[in-house]
């Protein structure tokens, strides 16, 4: 078969080329048979395959596939290897079902706990989210199946998702929202990217040159193609120009014709279309060349993987008096309709038909030697407090050693297409928990929900296991954890707030009729709670185990480094309990003295380690420039400022017992040109201009003191001293303009301009003007 893409493009008519830029139907691309260009199948994703038996027939049934835990759950495993295994299984199922590209992973940041799609997304932290997305992509693509990293970008709410304009400043966009896409796109080389429905800073994502061309194609060198989210097109030709290759699904002949017409009229260069077709063909052929015809996957093995994955994801939030793990000899009351009818996946485009479904009631019944008493306790049809159902639950709970209540959010409480408006569970479930806990001191709550909830009953129960939406094996996995066959090791990939009012985006979510302002900036998730000294219900990174771990020692291999070097931190962790378990070791970096606003600390490394009772291990983390950098909007790039940083390590964002300090020296220039307002401290930090800055500062110091004293009239000696101290703080000190004029020592503007010219010359910033 001819794989010479340039040669094929030369043989294509304009109409044929334009035809490739939109789908054939809901799930397929168009073929050009005379040139051997095949049609390929793209279906959802992300945590299970949602493929219609006949992709060309919208009325055909969805084929069964393994339902793995959804993104929120998977991320709580913090387990790169596990995510990759899940990705591999998804890839195998795609091969078996003839699917060439699976639509996912979804790596949007959880800006607010209210986003209806948070169950599909990984985290509030861009590094964790990016790592999870990277390994998902590696797993799937390792099987010769493409991924589509979605939804690019800033798609952090469902309210008005087709028309809302997300107004996000450049630094926040890069540091938080785009950062999450970097790993899957740059490191794992995702074959395709799906653009979001919304607008970002005034342009639809489907026609946003900043996102699709400047970031994706130019900065990140993405070589694959961009497809729309389903129906996310605005103006077709504008989209193509901005870097959108494929419109999905097919919406009639008009759009392809618009491309043809634009080229014929001279509005669009044909080379733009040729470039798009080249990208499309390369991926299409790549998927075809990697097809494994006749592939069969092992359903049983995939179910077992789903069970293992669900067990790794569950987060033990509370376990007073070591109520858990349970003993199979204890008598148990299993309460809650979710025990028999699990809530294991979310609603919307990711909703699949599972190959099997494990109910916790069955799994617990199989283990509890004295059998179980069961009461549904609440209705799944409506949220009404049913006295008779609660009384039945109270009665069986009172008679057993332990009560396990399965509760959480029903489908109607969270879904794609809809944001939540509160953090509450159904009132009927809260009432049930309170009433059962009042009669049974040994009450455990097992939660099924895709996003954080309020827990007004938390103090009344002894144990809480957060199961998220754990996929088709969630029921058996819950039993594995409850009875200690699996030692819980998940940790929260998002903060559970104490109240909705406490959340970072509270004042700006979901925005007005046209736009949503990301007013909290970079302070998303724990970055916000820490800066505001707010105590959440449960912090980011938190999760208990049936064993305990001690953080014994940290060693860093250097105390000082250039931003071009790396530093390795080695940490010793010991299992100090009496059973084997896994710990997620988290490393955060804290800037000590920054000239820009920064979060208290940010996650820059993590590792999940497995330790026998008493065993210790060392974990190494390699940090580089990016571990210390912020996104500098003067140079539109990452910049690690010269200064001291603390490297802290521990079991959660709220508990970092180990710490070490490092001095980082920047080798880069934090601005594009020296101007009258360039800061002294920036010039001080650049070796080539340090001497100038020192001399200039010394010169201006005398007049600074004089003027400071003049301005401080009426402030008293102590006030004057404070003022002078503040004025002399290098990082707060004014720009070099202050060498002239009132604070200067007689320097003229002409002289300053000359110096600026010389400084630019010295720094190689040749074309810079002095403005
Ligand atoms: C969702 C995407 C999904 C697509 C196809 C859209 O509504 O936002 O995530 O992949 O539909 O089902």
Closest atom of ligand 1 relative to the 120 alpha carbon: 9
The predicted pLDDT at position 767 comes to: 56
Q: Would you say 589 and 623 are in contact if contact means Cβ atoms under 8 Å apart?
A: yes
Convert the pLDDT of each residue in 746-765 to its tens digit. Answer: 899 999 999 999 999 999 99
CA separation, residue 304 to residues 89, 119, 448 (Å): 11, 22, 20
Nearest to 227 by CA among 249, 202, 200: 249
Convert the pLDDT of each residue in 577-634 to its tens digit. Answer: 999 999 999 999 999 989 899 999 999 999 999 999 999 999 999 999 999 999 999 9
Tell which one of 117, 348, 352, 419 to mutate to probe ligand 1, the residue whose CB is within 8 A of the most ligand atoms: 348
Q: Would you say 204 and 166 are in contact if contact means Cβ atoms under 8 Å apart?
A: no
Cα separation, 123 vs 422, in Å, equals 19
CA separation, residue 512 to residues 160, 413, 507, 710 (Å): 9, 22, 11, 49
Note if the pTM is more than 0.95. yes
- For ligand 1, atom 12: residue with the closest CA: 349
Nearest to 313 by CA among 53, 670, 74: 74
Convert the pLDDT of each residue in 196-225 to its tens digit. Answer: 999 999 999 999 999 999 999 999 999 999
Tell which one of 25, 28, 42, 44 to mutate to probe ligand 1, the residue whose CB is within 8 A of the most ligand atoms: 44
Q: Would you say 676 and 735 are in contact if contact means Cβ atoms under 8 Å apart?
A: yes
List, chain by chain if needed, residues with CB within 6 Å of any ligand 1 atom: 44-45, 103, 150, 229-230, 349
Mean pLDDT on 83-94: 98
Q: How sure is the predictor about 2, in pLDDT bands with cuts at 50, 70 and 90?
A: confident
Handedness of CA 611, 132, 485, 544 (dihedral sign): positive
pLDDT at 124 over 70: yes
Helix %, strand %, coil % of the chain (to 5): 35, 20, 45
- For ligand 1, atom 6: residue with the closest CA: 230
Backbone angles phi, psi at 212, to 5 degrees: -80, -30
Convert the pLDDT of each residue in 401-459 to its tens digit. Answer: 999 999 999 999 999 999 999 999 999 999 999 999 999 999 999 999 999 999 999 99
CA separation, residue 359 to residues 257, 406, 425 (Å): 52, 11, 21
* Residue 649, helix vs strand vs coil: strand
CA of 44 to the centre of ligand 1 (A): 7
The predicted pLDDT at position 730 comes to: 60
Q: How sure is the predictor about 770, in pLDDT bands with cuts at 50, 70 and 90?
A: very low
Convert the pLDDT of each residue in 252-270 to its tens digit. Answer: 999 999 999 999 999 999 9
Cα separation, 244 vs 276, in Å, equals 8
Cα separation, 561 vs 568, in Å, equals 11
Mean pLDDT, the chain, whole residue set = 96
CA of 349 to the centre of ligand 1 (A): 5
Closest atom of ligand 1 relative to the 417 alpha carbon: 7
Count CB-CB contacts under 10 A for residue 369. 9
Convert the pLDDT of each residue in 41-71 to its tens digit. Answer: 999 999 999 999 999 999 999 999 999 999 9
pLDDT at 769 over 70: no
Nearest to 674 by CA among 634, 636, 708: 634
Options 79, 125, 229, 563, the catalytic residue: 229
The predicted pLDDT at position 709 comes to: 67
Mean pLDDT on 12-32: 98
Query: Active site includes 593?
Result: no
Q: Would you say 378 and 422 are in contact if contact means Cβ atoms under 8 Å apart?
A: no
Residue 501: beta bridge partners? none
């Amino acid at each position: 078969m001819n794989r010479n893409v340039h040669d094929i493009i030369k043989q294509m008519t304009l109409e044929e080329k334009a035809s490739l830029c939109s789908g054939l139907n809901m799930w397929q691309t168009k073929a050009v048979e005379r040139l051997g260009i095949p049609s390929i199948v793209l279906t959802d994703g992300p945590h299970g395959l949602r493929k219609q038996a006949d992709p060309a027939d919208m009325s055909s049934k969805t084929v069964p596939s393994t339902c793995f835990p959804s993104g929120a759950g998977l991320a709580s495993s913090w387990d790169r290897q596990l995510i990759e295994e899940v990705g591999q299984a998804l890839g195998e199922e795609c091969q078996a079902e003839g699917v060439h590209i699976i639509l996912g992973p979804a790596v949007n940041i959880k800006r607010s706990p209210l986003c209806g799609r948070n169950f599909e997304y990984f985290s509030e932290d861009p590094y964790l989210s990016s790592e999870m997305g990277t390994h998902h992509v590696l797993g799937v693509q390792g099987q010769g199946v493409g991924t589509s990293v979605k939804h690019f970008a800033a798609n952090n709410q469902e309210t008005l998702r087709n028309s809302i304009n997300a107004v996000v400043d450049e630094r926040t966009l890069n540091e938080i929202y785009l950062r999450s896409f970097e790993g899957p796109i740059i490191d794992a080389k995702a074959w395709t990217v799906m653009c979001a429905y919304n607008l970002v800073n005034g342009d639809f994502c489907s026609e946003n040159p900043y996102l699709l061309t400047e970031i994706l194609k130019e900065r990140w060198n993405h070589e694959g193609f961009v497809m729309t989210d389903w129906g996310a097109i605005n103006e077709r030709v504008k989209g193509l120009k901005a870097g959108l290759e494929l419109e999905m699904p097919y919406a009639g002949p008009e759009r392809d014709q618009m491309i043809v017409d634009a080229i014929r009229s001279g509005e669009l260069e044909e080379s733009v279309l040729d470039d798009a077709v080249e990208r499309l063909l390369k991926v299409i052929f790549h998927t075809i060349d990697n097809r494994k015809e006749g592939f069969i996957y092992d359903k049983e093995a995939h179910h077992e993987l789903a069970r293992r994955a669900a067990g790794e994801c569950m987060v033990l939030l509370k376990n007073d008096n070591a109520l858990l793990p349970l003993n199979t000899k204890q008598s148990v009351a299993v309460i809650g309709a979710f025990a028999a009818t699990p809530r294991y996946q979310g609603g919307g485009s990711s909703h699949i038909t599972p190959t099997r479904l494990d109910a916790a009631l069955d799994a617990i019944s199989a283990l509890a030697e004295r059998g179980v008493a069961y009461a549904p306790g609440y209705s799944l049809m409506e949220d009404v407090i049913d006295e008779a159902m609660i009384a039945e639950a109270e009665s069986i709970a009172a008679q057993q050693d332990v009560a396990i209540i399965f509760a959480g959010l029903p489908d109607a409480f969270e879904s794609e297409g809809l944001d939540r408006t509160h953090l509450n569970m159904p009132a009927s479930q809260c009432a049930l928990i309170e009433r059962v806990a009042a009669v049974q001191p040994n009450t455990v709550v097992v939660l099924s929900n895709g996003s954080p909830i309020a827990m007004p009953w938390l103090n009344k129960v002894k144990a809480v296991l957060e199961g998220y939406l754990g996929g088709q094996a969630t029921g058996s996995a819950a039993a594995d954890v409850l009875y200690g066959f699996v030692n819980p090791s998940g940790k929260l990939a998002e903060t559970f707030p104490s109240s909705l009012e406490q959340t970072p985006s509270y004042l700006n979510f979901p925005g007005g009729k046209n736009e949503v302002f990301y007013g909290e900036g970079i302070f998303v998730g724990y970055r916000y709670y820490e800066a505001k000294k707010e105590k959440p219900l449960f912090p980011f990174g938190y999760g208990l185990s049936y064993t305990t771990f001690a953080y014994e020692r940290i060693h860093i291999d250097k105390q000082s480094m250039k931003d071009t070097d790396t530093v390795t931190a080695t940490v010793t962790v010991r299992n100090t309990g009496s059973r084997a378990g896994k710990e997620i070791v988290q490393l955060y970096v804290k800037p000590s003295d920054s000239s820009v606003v920064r979060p208290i600390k940010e996650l820059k490394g993590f590792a999940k380690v497995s330790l026998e009772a008493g065993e210790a291990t060392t974990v190494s983390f390699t940090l580089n420039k990016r571990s210390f950098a912020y996104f500098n909007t003067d140079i539109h790039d990452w910049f690690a400022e010269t200064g001291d940083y603390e490297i802290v390590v521990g079991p959660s964002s709220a508990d970092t017992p180990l710490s070490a300090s490092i001095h980082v020296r920047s080798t880069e220039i934090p601005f594009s040109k020296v101007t009258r307002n360039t800061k002294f401290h920036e010039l001080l930090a650049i070796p080539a201009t340090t001497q100038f800055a020192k001399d200039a500062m010394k010169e201006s110091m005398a007049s600074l003191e004089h003027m400071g004293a003049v301005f401080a009239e009426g402030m008293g000696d102590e006030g004057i001293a404070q003022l002078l101290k503040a004025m002399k703080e290098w990082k707060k000190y004014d720009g070099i303009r202050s060498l002239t004029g009132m604070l200067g020592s007689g320097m003229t503007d002409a002289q300053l301009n000359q110096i600026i010219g010389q400084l630019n010359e010295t720094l190689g910033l040749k074309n810079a003007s002095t403005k």
